Amino acid sequence: MRLFSKSALQKKYPLITGENTPILRIVCDEVKKITPEIKQFCKDIIELMREYDGVWLAAPQIDQNYRIAAVTQRDTNHTNRKWEKERKLTDEFVMINPKVLSTSHETSISEEACLSLPKIKGDVSRPDSITIQYMCSKGKTHVHKATDFNARVILHEMDHLDGVLFIDKLVTSL
């Protein structure tokens, strides 16, 4: 992450923060057509995810009203169940108009954080495995199965596209 100066992309797409910021609380519009602008945005959001040192990034987090999110997928065979980027990167991709097809009945509670809510972390319960469908920037439909950390990453980002923040789902102890 750049500590002192913003990149051209960061200036074009500044990171939006704050739990009551309107763009973070809307249901984003579906992408109707893959245009050259959408293809470029998909490239940009992957680069921004790297620049902001994130493991995920959704369009509303950079002030864009699209159902688009960039996610990383990590090695889930790692013995440490921490969500941080200690896990080996296995893939990164952009999801356009993602939809959940199925979720497991089994759930796990794990700590989450968010670039749009700096300095806040909390435990969230999510399904252990999911199957989703999404479109890539080439307009092709994909079905993707994810487990553990990878399922959590995808669901966290899909929540952003529906105006939901992880703090809305915090697990509280009695």
CA angle at 18 for the pair 16 and 19, rounded to the nearest 5°: 125
Of 126, 76, 127, the residue nearest 103 (C-alpha): 127
> Would you call 167 exposed, middle or buried from its count of C-beta atoms within 10 A (0-12, 13-18, 19+)?
middle
Q: Is 157 one of the catalytic residues?
A: yes
Whole-angstrom Cα Rg for the chain: 15
Catalytic-role residue among 19, 86, 111, 157: 157
- Element (DSSP H or E) covering residue 124: strand 121-127
Q: What is the DSSP letter of 169?
A: G
CA atoms of 39 and 118, how far apart (whole Å): 29
* Helix boundaries (H) for the chain: 8-12, 36-51, 148-161
Q: Which amino acids are annotated catalytic?
A: 157
